[in-house]
Amino acid sequence: MRVGIALKEKDVDLIISLLNSRKEIKVEEILFQMLRKNISSSDILFILLQILGRDGFIEGSKGVIKIIKPIDEKEAYIAKKRLIESLSKSTKVFVTPLEIGKFFQCPRRIWLEKVVMSTQKKEEKGKAWDGEALHFAINQLVKNLEKGISTAVEDAVNSAVSKYAGKIELEREELVDFLNRFCEFMKEEGISTVFTEKLLESFPEGLVGTPDLIGISKDGKIITIDIKLGQLSRKGLKKEHLLQIVGEAILAEKFFRKRVEIAYLIYFESNSLAKIIIREDMKREFLKYKRGLIKTFRSSYIPPVSRLPNFKKRVCQGCHVRHVCENIELLKKI
């Protein structure tokens, strides 16, 4: 959670340099370059294009930007200043899809984590670290795929096992098998480009987050992918997982200005995969929970604990602020 828009001047400078680099450039190409350079919001680009268009520097048509005249240093400074002024006054509350999933699980937990900033107790060894190691291995794999799959898998596993030595319970062979199957999945889905752990922001939505993976298929479709350490329940998807992946799909849509129709949840322990067709009603439900979360953040009352069935096992057991919550419950009895 955060309040306001964090804008880096160097991001604007990079976009202007891309525009100055040629006479015509596709918007899609600019967006890919922005993502590679860790520029998190395409809103910066489109607001800047509006400013430059009004000043006669560019024209846009069918996804292509035509540079009418070079944007010199003075004009770039003026455009950048106007952009910063238009965004710096924002007091919008930004939340993440993960926070909304946690809010669904337990309003008090997310309140203690993000508003009270309670000390979080993390186990010295076990599942929390297993999850971090798994995500780190995926990240390393994607970054090194140009070396070839077998080398990339080996290097990713070695790096993860070394970094989290003494903290994880994952078996090396399990990681190797999972990463190889993930590579097969990308091939089957026709994913030609993949971005890993890229921060995305939507200024109008007040949404920020880091999807585990964003895949671009050969036919240009955007696919968001989330990796989960646990198992896919026999009862179906957990609501918190669905809310998170829908939120990440919204973020990808807002960045690329293109509809995201499909998302995947991949579960490590159960060796299973869930394909989600992103519908409009799912987005509306996600935004409803987002409004509820912001209302909770702004409230002066302590939120209730989870109302989910079997919440003590499902939520409390792995909660890092459980000790604080238990103290609150004890004080209520005095």
Q: Please tell me the distance from the alpha carbon of residue 237 to that of residue 150, in angstroms, as a whole number.
A: 32
pLDDT for 310: 84
The number of residues making up the chain comes to 334
Assigned CATH topology for domain 2-91: Arc Repressor Mutant, subunit A (1.10.10)
Structure tokens at 87: 């965004």
- Pairing between β-strand 93-94 and β-strand 2-3 as defined by DSSP bridges: antiparallel
Please state, in angstroms and rounded to a whole number, the distance separating the CA atoms of residues 141 and 154.
9
pLDDT at 122: 67
What class does CATH assign to 94-296? alpha beta
The residues that bridge with 193 in the sheet, in sequence order, are 216
* Residue where the block lists tokens 């997982």: 241
In the numeric block, which tokens belong to residue 22?
Answer: 């040629």
Matching CATH topology for 2-91 and 94-296? no
What's residue 186's pLDDT?
95
Whole-angstrom Cα distance, residue 235 to residue 314?
14
d(CA 296, CA 114): 11
Domain range summary for the chain, segments of one domain joined by +: 2-91, 94-296
Structure-block tokens of residue 27: 């918007």
Pair 236, 196: CB distance under 8 Å: no
Cβ-proximal residues to 263 (8 Å cutoff; 6+ apart), any chain: 223, 224, 225, 226, 245, 246, 248, 249, 275, 276, 278
pLDDT given at position 317: 82
pLDDT in tens, the chain (334 residues): 677 777 778 899 999 999 999 899 999 999 999 999 999 999 999 999 999 999 999 998 888 999 999 899 899 999 888 888 888 777 888 999 999 999 999 999 999 988 888 877 767 777 889 999 999 999 999 999 999 999 999 999 999 999 999 999 999 999 999 999 999 999 999 999 999 999 999 999 999 999 999 999 999 999 999 999 999 888 889 999 999 999 999 999 999 999 999 999 999 999 999 999 999 999 999 999 999 999 998 888 899 899 888 888 888 887 888 889 889 888 888 7
CA–CA separation, 210 and 87 (whole Å): 22
Closest alpha carbon to 210 in 313, 138, 312, 116: 138
**The pLDDT value given to residue 1:** 65
**Whole-prediction pTM:** 0.92
